[in-house]
Amino acid sequence: MHISSAVSETKVNTGWVSMGATEWGDRSLQAHEPLFHEGDETSHFFEVLEGVLCAYKIFADGRRQVISFAFPGDLVGFGHGSAYRFDCDALSRARVRCVPKSSILRAIKERPDLGERLLDAAAGEVAHMQELSVLLGRKSAIEKLASFLVSLSERTSPESDGSAQVALPMTRADMADFLGLTVETVSRNMTKLRVMKIIDLPHSATLEVRDMARLRALADCEDNLY
Amino acid sequence: MHISSAVSETKVNTGWVSMGATEWGDRSLQAHEPLFHEGDETSHFFEVLEGVLCAYKIFADGRRQVISFAFPGDLVGFGHGSAYRFDCDALSRARVRCVPKSSILRAIKERPDLGERLLDAAAGEVAHMQELSVLLGRKSAIEKLASFLVSLSERTSPESDGSAQVALPMTRADMADFLGLTVETVSRNMTKLRVMKIIDLPHSATLEVRDMARLRALADCEDNLY
DNA sequence: CGTGAGGTTGATCGCTTTCAACGGAGGTGG
DNA sequence: CCACCTCCGTTGAAAGCGATCAACCTCACG
């Protein structure tokens, strides 16, 4: 468990709220271990400390839509009422800090500035979901993929002169279900980006962005070239 | 302007936060008049008092994704940082209550319970956007349309024994841009639902739900019948 | 009654999906 | 150590759903 003071600390720009308080407890997850299921009572918020989580909705007929990937620093649990409305798994070994909802509500009452920060975090979550809606509704397969890779590299890897190394902790199926595509379409467009010399794939789980400007142009729908 | 006390009142379940305070001022909008544009400084939150608003993102090449329709009682302005990230118009004559952000922040500091309520409202917004993402990513055209009509009827009209009258204040183009479809596809599937005796369209802007159970089944992807 | 925006319907096109086969990486047990 | 198996990723061929292009209709409004 992290050593931390009783004073909470917030980085609103990146959307996370870190709260030090040992009473809240951490939890370790194996790869593919569920954190919660749709329908479970919403007892906690979770802050990812290590690893990557994946929140998704599964239909009765097997269709799946991934709602978000949560990286260290991200907060999971917004948008649910008294019961979780989606499933959430760990993609890899992960550690999360569990924050009881009641504890959050108490903290807000005692420390109004915390409420403001949580509100900012919630606003960031809204912004993310809005961007996802734009992506799902109006972007082509290659634009979706480009957007995803840009967002991933921004969240996890520093860029240097137009290139970046990015780990892909999720499978093609996870990516497909996030982007509203099939694995085949994801794979085909990965290859397309590689042929265009925009990215490279040393391993299937390691991405190298070779031309970030071009990738961004695709992500922003400013490039119709195939 | 509404007559209201200085005490705020919140209905968290329906996602709105009504705050009485005459200093905040209301604003009237003509049909198609913009409330704000992408890039404008985010000075205010807005509570819809009358009419319907439409928030959307426009691409450089003309593609458009509608993010949300806001009905009386809905709050507009979440998910934006220091600048609005989308455009927002009135679909019809509308009236909104303008609440300065600074005023919100001050109110939160003075009244912690208000922060909690706003947080609930934000959570409701997150939930809406998550549902939209599921719809856009994994539902077929007819399922999208059914989901939209169900949601519209739930928000605006009481249901009685499986049927309901619903006004459609937006054009087919607005619906299409919300559902990630084209006007033609929306129109075709409206006809399909009519042929299936699930809905009726006395006028193009008036919907009559004849078989709500069947419509819900489609919306929930439990019905593969065409 | 003319006009234009919004809505519907038909024919065709094409991007993504579906169906199918293959290859490689990792794990297990003989 | 290697055969075997399974999961994951890639690629090809064909099909399908929604998009595109186009014509026509309806209705409100001058």
* Nearest-neighbour CA in chain B from A108: distance (Å): 6
**Chain A residues touching residue B134 (CB < 8 angstroms):** 57, 65, 67
Report the distance separating Cα B108 and Cα B69, nearest Å: 27
Report the distance separating Cα B198 and Cα B57, nearest Å: 32
**Chain B residues touching residue A102 (CB < 8 angstroms):** none
pLDDT given at position A6: 32
Report the distance separating Cα A206 and Cα A169, nearest Å: 9
Q: In the structure, how far is the CA atom of residue B215 from the C1' atom of nucleotide D8, in angstroms?
A: 38
Report the distance separating Cα B64 and Cα B156, nearest Å: 25
What secondary structure does DSSP assign to B65-98, as a single string? Answer: EEEEEE-TT-EE-TT--SB-SSEEEESSSEEEEE
Q: Considering only CA atoms, which of B99, B94, B85 is closest in space to residue B34?
A: B94
Whole-angstrom CA distances from B203 to A136, B159, B165, B200, B207 are: 31, 20, 12, 9, 7
A195 touches strand D (CB under 7 A): no
The model's pLDDT over B87-140, given as tens digits with 9 standing for 90+, comes to 999 999 999 999 998 888 888 888 878 888 888 899 999 999 999 999 999 999
Query: Which residue is listed with tokens 């008294």?
Result: A82
Q: What is the mean pLDDT of residues B135-152?
A: 98
pLDDT given at position B224: 53
CA A174 to chain centre: 12
Contact B112 A115 (CB under 8 A): yes
pLDDT given at position B130: 98
**Chain A residues touching residue B111 (CB < 8 angstroms):** 112
Contact A123 B118 (CB under 8 A): no
Q: Is the CB of A226 inside 8 Å of chain B's CB atoms?
A: no
* Nearest-neighbour CA in chain A from B180: distance (Å): 4
Q: What is the mean pLDDT of residues B205-213?
A: 96
pLDDT given at position B8: 33
- Name residue B186's amino acid: V
Q: What is the mean pLDDT of chain A?
A: 88
Contact A138 B109 (CB under 8 A): no
* Nearest-neighbour CA in chain B from A212: distance (Å): 20
Q: In the structure, how far is the CA atom of residue A176 from the C1' atom of nucleotide C19, in angstroms?
A: 18
Residue A81, helix vs strand vs coil: coil
B195 touches strand C (CB under 7 A): no
The model's pLDDT over A141-187, given as tens digits with 9 standing for 90+, comes to 999 999 999 999 999 988 777 889 999 999 999 999 999 999 999 99
The model's pLDDT over B28-76, given as tens digits with 9 standing for 90+, comes to 999 999 999 999 999 999 999 999 999 999 999 999 999 999 999 999 9
Q: Which two tokens stand for residue B39?
A: 């890039």
pLDDT tops 80 at residue B147: yes
Whole-angstrom CA distances from A221 to A202, B39, B197 are: 26, 18, 40
Nucleotides of C under 7 A from a protein CB: 6-11, 15-20
pLDDT tops 70 at residue B16: no
In this structure, of A71-80, B108-117, B150-159, B189-198, the range with the lowest mean pLDDT score is B108-117
Q: What is the mean pLDDT of chain B?
A: 88
Residue A215 CB partners (closer than 8 Å, separation 6+): A146, A149, A150, A193, A198, A199, A209
A151 touches strand D (CB under 7 A): no
Which one is predicted more confidently, A223 or B82?
B82
Report the distance separating Cα A53 and Cα A207, nearest Å: 19
Residue A89, helix vs strand vs coil: strand
Is-contact B143 B221, C-beta < 8 A? yes
pLDDT tops 60 at residue B185: yes
The model's pLDDT over A34-76, given as tens digits with 9 standing for 90+, comes to 999 999 999 999 999 999 999 999 999 999 999 999 999 999 9
pLDDT tops 80 at residue A224: no
pLDDT given at position B2: 33
What secondary structure does DSSP assign to chain B, as a single string? Answer: -----SS-EEETTTTEEE---GGG-EEEE-TT-EEE-TTSB--EEEEEEES-EEEEEE-TTS-EEEEEEE-TT-EE-TT--SB-SSEEEESSSEEEEEEEHHHHHHHHHH-HHHHHHHHHHHHHHHHHHHHHHHHHHH--HHHHHHHHHHHHHHHH---BTTBEEEE--S-HHHHHHHHT--HHHHHHHHHHHHHTTSEEEEETTEEEES-HHHHHHHHTT-----
The H-or-E segment that residue A69 falls in is strand A64-70
Q: What is the mean pLDDT of residues B148-162?
A: 89
pLDDT tops 60 at residue A17: no
B181 touches strand D (CB under 7 A): yes
Q: Which strands, in side-by-side order, build the sheet including B26-29? A: B26-29, B94-100, B44-50, B75-76
Q: What is the mean pLDDT of residues B186-207?
A: 97
pLDDT given at position B1: 35
Is-contact A79 B123, C-beta < 8 A? yes
* Nearest-neighbour CA in chain A from B56: distance (Å): 9
Contact A123 B79 (CB under 8 A): yes
Q: Which residue of A has its CA nearest to B113?
A: A109
pLDDT given at position A4: 35
Percent of chain B with pLDDT over 90: 73
pLDDT given at position B157: 84
**How many beta carbons lie within 10 A of that of residue B213, not counting itself?**
11
Candidates A56, A109, A138, partner chain B, best to mutate (most B CBs within 10 A): A138
pLDDT given at position B23: 52
A146 touches strand C (CB under 7 A): no
Q: In the structure, how far is the CA atom of residue B110 from the C1' atom of nucleotide D6, in angstroms?
A: 60
Candidates B119, B132, B135, B143, partner chain A, best to mutate (most A CBs within 10 A): B119
pLDDT tops 50 at residue A5: no
**How many beta carbons lie within 10 A of that of residue A191, not counting itself?**
12
